[in-house]
Amino acid sequence: MSDVTHLIEAACQGDPRAGEQLLPLVYEELHRLAVARMAQEKPGNTLQPTALVHEAWLRLVGNREREWEGRSHFITAAAEAMRRILIDRARRRRAMRHGGDYQRVAYEEVELACAIPDDQLLALDEALSGLEAMHPRQAEAVKLRYLMGLTLHETAEVLGISTTSAWDLTAHARAWLRREMAKS
């Protein structure tokens, strides 16, 4: 039995000293595997090969139920662990609760649909609250069209109405809001 095999078994049994001695012996090979795996990933992946090695290491050595038959078995299991880590990360990125297929955008690049001074924004919010109490459908149309920046067609789609009806709702709401904001 080689030193590596003996250290693998001892590390899996929970001997921390064995793990410390084993890692330098297999690290280069694990790192080469990680670099090869990462080369197959899409650009922009934030996981580095070193982090992938460490995460796979923790999964392998932390699993005390496994018996390793030697270095090649351990390396094969490490490659499989790396593959599973990358698959898990890809699934998490695609999950809707993590943004789904949306692209990340830097905060500095985002333009607000309406850029108005704070006092006018507060007056608009107060008037919009009044409109919402009296005419909820018109208030919803205004929020979609002017605050969220949707086109007239998109607003109509979201509300499930014709483009003409969406135009009528927003035109009436704009006039009502102007009148209310002029009061304050």
Asked whether residue 131 falls in the same domain as residue 161, the answer is yes
On the CB side of 145, CA atoms within 13 Å amount to: 22
Asked whether residue 8 falls in the same domain as residue 75, the answer is yes
* Region of poorest pLDDT, from 59-63, 95-99, 106-110, 159-163: 106-110
What does pLDDT average to over the chain?
76
Q: What is the mean pLDDT of residues 60-82?
A: 71
Asked whether residue 83 falls in the same domain as residue 30, the answer is yes
CATH of the domain at 166: 1.10.10
pLDDT per residue over 27-53, tens digit each?
787 788 777 777 766 666 677 888 888
Asked whether residue 75 falls in the same domain as residue 123, the answer is no
Q: What is the mean pLDDT of residues 151-166?
A: 90
Task: Pick from 5-19, 32-46, 117-131 the range whose average pLDDT is largest.
Answer: 117-131
CATH of the domain at 83: 1.10.1740
CB 152 within 8 A of CB 165: no
Asked whether residue 124 falls in the same domain as residue 91, the answer is no
Closest CA to 8 of 169, 134, 35, 18: 18
Specify the number of domains making up the chain: 2
Asked whether residue 94 falls in the same domain as residue 122, the answer is no
Tell me whether residue 156 is in a domain. yes
Asked whether residue 71 falls in the same domain as residue 154, the answer is no
Q: What is the mean pLDDT of residues 1-14?
A: 69
Asked whether residue 70 falls in the same domain as residue 137, the answer is no
Tell me whether residue 112 is in a domain. no
Asked whether residue 87 falls in the same domain as residue 140, the answer is no
What pLDDT sits at residue 57?
75
Tell me whether residue 107 is in a domain. no
Asked whether residue 48 falls in the same domain as residue 88, the answer is yes
Tell me whether residue 105 is in a domain. no
Tell me whether residue 113 is in a domain. no
23: alpha, beta or left? (left if phi > 0; alpha if psi -120 to 50) = alpha
Domain range for 136 = 118-183
Tell me whether residue 106 is in a domain. no
Asked whether residue 87 falls in the same domain as residue 167, the answer is no
DSSP 85-120: HHHHHHHHHHSGGGTTTPPP--GGG---S----HHH
What pLDDT sits at residue 10?
74
pLDDT at 171 over 70: yes
Alpha-carbon distance of 130 to 119, in angstroms, equals 17
Asked whether residue 136 falls in the same domain as residue 57, the answer is no
Tell me whether residue 22 is in a domain. yes
Q: At what angle do helices 71-94 and 3-12 cross, to 10 degrees?
A: 50
Closest CA to 38 of 27, 30, 46, 49: 49
Closest CA to 19 of 84, 82, 68: 68
pLDDT at 151 over 60: yes
